[in-house]
Structure 1
């Protein structure tokens, strides 16, 4: 059953057609430098195997499409590595033609909200490169807080870029998105 937001559909992977779209996404010359720490290179068909493995790991993995047309836009992932700590690592990747239109914000808000409501998470975490001010602004606007900076951690486009860690706690999210008294909720009230 797919999930719907105002403009987006978040659905399960359906097979090779999605792998072709994901390969196109990860191989995009504007997207690659914002998500890969490895040297940028053309990704071949063998990278589909990497993508298949990537899709099997997350707690929540969705292909993001434009509801109106069904057009592939990108993907959102949420992975809980250690269930005991209830901390999920979040990532989202969209094709450049969908940037700067609020789609990333809409999808991120849905996925994080869904995770806090249905997975009982205590926090959501993410990493973003310091040369991606658009993404940083979105994350901060919806409640993520800068938690750490690994200075000059990634060699990119003939220069060093910082790697930033951000996170949001369930109680912070609740206070911002669920109403005035929701922020008083603690993990024991789950």
Structure 2
């Protein structure tokens, strides 16, 4: 289990699968996470979640330290061992948006990726209309690498898919400035 100033980042327990399922079924969250159609995800989706947890390089639950409130998840998946790259995903329950928790988790988990997991780069994708997420990713040190214009249909309109990344040497350089 890891701790930051306000948060605990811990392993997934069996009881978390239902909470993960509920998080993915929140329209506000689902439309920020997946390029597939936003639809209610049934009981079979729990099997998918379990496979994601077991197949990920790292899959953690985020909760508050003070009250042990369930906040969301963060994970590394699609790990490329040869090139020491992994894709990052994070999602928080909407009631925790805007509190600085995403920044806090990302700073910790990116540092962990480079220092402990020996990754060379961390990659992520987000949608162009998710301006709050892009702002947080940039604050942590991610840079835009590619933009797929109008690559995702959601909410009755096209949106860009933004690929961002951060390299270990970029992260190290920003840590020296702190």
The alignment's TM-score, normalised by the length of structure 1, stands at 0.91
1:19-168 equivalences under 5 Å are 19-168=17-166
Deviations 1:123-148 (A, max 9, x none): 11100100100000011111101000
> Within the alignment, does 1:14 sit opposite 2:24 as a pair?
no
Cα separation, 2, equivalents of 1:24 and 1:44:
10
Instruction: Tell me the CA shift for residue 80 of structure 1.
Output: 4.9
Q: How many residues align?
A: 178
State the Cα deviation string for residues 39-91 of structure 1 (Å, max 9, x = none): 11111122101100110111111010111111111000012522010011111
Secondary structure of 2:26's match? coil
SS of the residue aligned with 1:41? coil
Q: Are 1:80 and 1:86, in contact at CA under 8 Å, matched by a contact in 2?
A: no
Which runs of 5 or more structure 1 residues have no equivalent in the other structure?
181-190
Structure number with the bigger relative contact order (C-alpha 8 A, sep ≥ 6) is 2
Secondary structure of residue in 2 paired with 1:38 = coil
Task: Give distance in 2, aligned partners of 1:111 and 1:14.
Answer: 19
Segments of 4+ moved more than 4 angstroms: none
TM-score (norm 2): 0.97
- CA root-mean-square deviation: 1.2
Q: Distance in 1 between matches of 2:77 and 2:84?
A: 10
CA drift at 1:24: 0.8
For 1:127 and 1:149, locate their aligned partners in 2 and report how far apart those are by CA, in whole Å.
Answer: 10
